[in-house]
Structure 1
Amino acid sequence: MTTSRSSISDTDDRQTQTPEGKDTAAPTAAILAIACVAQFMVVLDVSIVNVALPSIRSGLGFTPADLQWVVNAYTVPFAGFLLAGGRLADLRGRRQAFLIGITLFTLASLLGGLASNPETLIAARAVQGLAAAVVAPATLTLLATTFVDPAARARAFSVWGAVAGAGGAIGALAGGVLTEWLSWRWILLVNVPIGVVLVAAAVKFVTDLPALRRPRNVDLPGALSVTVGTAALVYAIIGTEQYGWTSARTVITAAVAVVALIFFVIDQVRLSPEPLLSFSLFRVRPVWVANVLVFASGAALFGMFYFLTLYLQGVLGYSPIRAGLAYLPLAIALALTARFGARLVEPIGLRVLLTTGLVLTAAGLGLLGLLSDTSTYALGVLGPTILVGVGQGLVMTCATLAGTSGLPPERAGVASGLINATRQLGGALGLAVLATVSTNRIAHTSGGAAHAQAAGYSAALAVGAAIAAVAALFALLAPGRR
């Protein structure tokens, strides 16, 4: 085994090749910074709009029913196109895929920030989601193909996991600050200068790898069927809160999803000469275990941010900025654990770390499930959110390592897209289920609005704890120290 360097920030000057065949030194510190900043921006845009929704509604004249699409127009294409987005890095090369995604994301952010009507904003958010589906797996591909030494790769993924994990928590704070101090438009416009810097940095530092076998053709039927099927499934589940599980809209949309996904499987197994997804990936135990764990973690974590934000503002009466500040201890705990937890992978092993992380997550969510309208932040929220932060810091880093390690570079893109898609799907599907639980509990609870809301939110958080606890059992199947 080769001896890794003491710090990722050291330049390892690996020689890669540009498409023209010229050798170029690719400093690993620059690659790591580019990947982390891009992933942070993508994750941030999932949560940054939440606290700005009232201002967006009054500013552009959204109806209450349509306002949800400011969020869903981003998350549905994001989840639906992630697998195809991961394949793009394999087809076009990591450099070109990254540049396409970041450029499109930046332009869509500019369009959304300048939007003068609801339709333009929703369209811009949808394009953002498509671009994010390219950027997210591209960042993992950059890391997986740049850091080949196991110890160095573990440290790189720990930094990436810390940044990605903190993005969700910091999004609430950033959205509150930008909305109250500037305008809701800046939650989108802030991406423009960041995107320009990322494009310039990628042009300078990101190169393509030589001698990788790439598929000759794009499996367009497979890409379309998995995207339509996944997006339709997310759309159906999201709509159940408003229309119900047995409505014609939900049943028809779910049927479209099932048909499209069945066709996707047939296409990958029988029809396509260049399959989008090789199902042999699922023969690798760490890969399928990792995807199960990130699906459950996405369901639990997305639900926690959603319902805890509603609790802080709706029950405790917090302002947007104060609610955002309430997540800082969680963000710090998650970032520190993800950053330094990777050092424990070699001596302790992924199995113990993943199991521990999910147990801590379940414990934190279980305590949040005890919240009531008389609870306080110091006694009811602070400690449990720190537990969730520590637990998810371990899970994000270790699950990503398990889901992408041991694969050849030419399969890194699709594996990265798969694990990201699984996380987003878990979040979307889990949130829909938890929202149904919350709505039913609120409807059947008497004793005042605040009391009923607190009961509904805590019930949803308790179900999230149960999901994390079940996932902890699956974590026992993860690889050990070997």
Structure 2
Amino acid sequence: MKKTKWIILTIIIACQLIVVLDASIMVTAIPQIGRALQMSATSLTWVQNAYILPFGGFLLLGARAGDLLGRRRMLLIGIGLFSLASMLAGLSPTAEFLLVTRAFQGFSAALATPAALALLSASFVEAKERAKAIAMYSAVSAGGGSVGLLLGGFFTDFISWRVGMFINVPIGIALLFMVHRFIQQTGTRAGRFDLGGAIVSVFGMSALVYGFVQAADRGWGKPETWISFAAGIVLLAAFVLIESRAAEPIIPLRLFANRQRSGAYLGRFLMVGGNFSLFFFIPQFLQNVLGFSSLEAGLAFLPFTVAQFGMMYLIPGLVQRYGNRKVLMAGLLLAIIGTLWMSRIVTVQAQFFPQMFILLTIMGIGAGMVFQPLTVLGLTDVDPQDNGAASGLINVAHQSGSSLGLAVLISVFHVAVHTDQPSKMQFAHGVSNAILGSVLFITAALVATLLCFLPARQAFRTSALPEK
């Protein structure tokens, strides 16, 4: 791989890393944020979802903007706004200000991320180079969350949770310089923005997430809970209608015509729905039940992180020998086994070593085997004019799965706990139930991929894109 390509790949991976980190870097700081800004346990979930929802909801608009205005330009705009939003979030004097700036961060990330992935697809066209680049990108996308836990814990214990936001500023400035220096200007073309579709999709997903949070906070029988669910369903149905009629939709529905692509999007949505929630619940269990500090809770995820990143180097060989399909299925099975076992040992008597250590390693290996095949399959047979939309849709599935999965499993947790001030035993019971819910999400991902991929007659090859 040429030196310039390595630099471009470094820029893309660094950009992806900071936006993925910010989905989890606040998790180990949640107890401190709650005390500093006087936020309740339920409202603290919005520290995550305020970032994830606009990130996922505006990704397709960001992808469209990259197609029309130029991907290099949108990458520069996205990184610049993300750096500004991060600085403001770090300065937050109130809970409301923090949530608004987190949403601003998410919107900015939605502009940068699809541009970065589309630039990767355009820069690496040779099969082996693209496979290697996608493997590295997928490892960062999947493993960045656990790195965020570690960094967030370190900053929280030794400096302040606010540093987790401030650190994005110098990184963003460095990335702006490197993008300007090493990435050439990309083409633009005439077209229209599907702003209505983007806004309806964001409000639809937000209404569903809000419904689950309301159910956890006030109960399933409250009218506002079901009104929120109904609004979410109606808005998402309206979104599909808008996309089917729009001259230039942010999601061309033809992307779902390929069964493998559809399975990859659905499988990613469900896998992340179960997997991301572990980053929220397990650190809370380690701190609130086992007495870990914020840093110790972040360090506890090192087995997961090391295993997941380690798979980055093994995946190309495994795919070459066994094919994407078998590697994907094996990874999902390992993730299910590790997560199910974890749900059984999360008690007040739990010991981190060796049980949780071993299981986090197994879960990390499983996750590390899943995301590269899903990324590859999500870009299968995409027409050049749809590269941006397909890249955005991969990330939409990732972020939407994160937000909805977390909202669902927080509701499961609160139903099991029945109180705002749970004892250690009650807290452990709630976390155990939530992790069991993660198992159901990942199992559903396995079923979805089986249904979409097993009937296919072709074998997946070592190339970055499966053959027809």
If the length of structure 1 is used for normalisation, what is the TM-score?
Answer: 0.89
- 1:297-341 deviation per Cα after TM superposition (whole angstroms, max 9, x unaligned): 111112211221122111111111111111011101001113431
| CA–CA distance in structure 1, aligned partners of residues 311 and 319 of structure 2 | 12
How far does the alpha carbon of each residue in 1:102-125 deviate from its partner, in whole angstroms, 9 at most, with x for none? 111000011111223333222211
Relative to structure 1, the CA distance from residue 351 to residue 241 in structure 2 (aligned partners, 3 Å threshold; closer, same or farther) is same
Determine the C-alpha separation between the residues in 2 that align with 1:428 and 1:186.
24
- 1:427 and 2:402 correspond: yes
Number of residue equivalences: 453
Are the counterparts in 2 of residues 78 and 129 from structure 1 also a CA contact under 8 Å?
A: yes
The residue number in structure 1 matching 2:415 is 440
Hey, what does 1:120 align to over in structure 2? Answer: 97
Letter in 2 for 1:450: K
Alignment partner, residue 17 of structure 1: none
Q: Please state if 1:96 is matched with 2:70.
A: no
Q: Distance in 2 between matches of 1:226 and 1:92?
A: 22
| Contact 1:300/1:468 (<8 A) preserved | yes
- Structure 2 residue aligned with 1:51, among 24, 28, 31? 28
1:367 and 1:384 in contact (8 A); partners too: yes
Structure 2 residue runs without a partner (length 5+)? 461-466
Residue of structure 2 equivalent to 1:256: 231
Residue 381 of structure 1 aligns to a residue whose secondary structure is helix
Aligned with residue 282 of structure 2, among 291, 302, 308: 308
The aligned counterpart of 1:390 is 365
**What is the Cα-based RMSD across aligned positions, in Å?**
2.0
Residue 137 (structure 1) aligns with? 114
Distance verdict in 2 for CA 1:361–1:334, change over 3 Å: same
Q: What letter is aligned with 1:442?
A: V
**The one of 374, 381, 405 aligned to 1:406:** 381
- Other-structure match for 1:235: 210
User: Do the aligned partners of 2:61 and 2:193 also contact (CA within 8 Å) in 1?
Assistant: no
Q: CA deviation at 1:256?
A: 2.6
Identity among equivalent pairs (%) = 36
Given the alignment, which residue of 184, 194, 197 partners 1:219?
194
Q: Which amino acid aligns with 1:207?
A: Q
Q: Which residue of 2 aligns with 1:450?
A: 424
Residues 62 and 307 of structure 1: CA distance in aligned 2, closer, same or farther (over 3 Å): closer
User: Distance in 2 between the 1:59 and 1:311 partners?
Assistant: 21
Q: 1:440-479, aligned counterparts within 5 Å?
A: 440-443=415-418, 449-476=423-450, 477-478=452-453
Tell me if structure 2 keeps the 8 A contact 1:34–1:202.
Answer: yes
Structure 2 distance, partners of 1:83, 1:247, is 33
Distance 1:339 1:280 in 2: 34
Contact 1:238 1:428 (8 Å CA) reproduced: no
Structure 1 unpaired stretches of 5+: 1-7, 12-26
* 4+ residue runs over 6 A deviation: none
Q: What is the alpha-carbon distance in structure 2 between the residues aligned to residue 435 and residue 115 of structure 1?
A: 25
Closer, same or farther: CA 409–245 of 1 in aligned 2, 3 Å: farther
TM-score (norm 2): 0.91
Distance in 1 of aligned mates of 2:139 and 2:396:
19
Superposition pairs of residues 178-193 of structure 1, within 5 angstroms = 178-193=155-170
Indicate the SS of the match to 1:406. coil
Change (3 A) 1:69 1:468: closer
Contact 1:106–1:195 (8 Å) recurs in 2: yes
Q: Is the 8 A contact 1:82 1:420 kept in 2?
A: yes
Contact kept, 8 Å, 2:207 with 2:228, in 1: the verdict is: yes
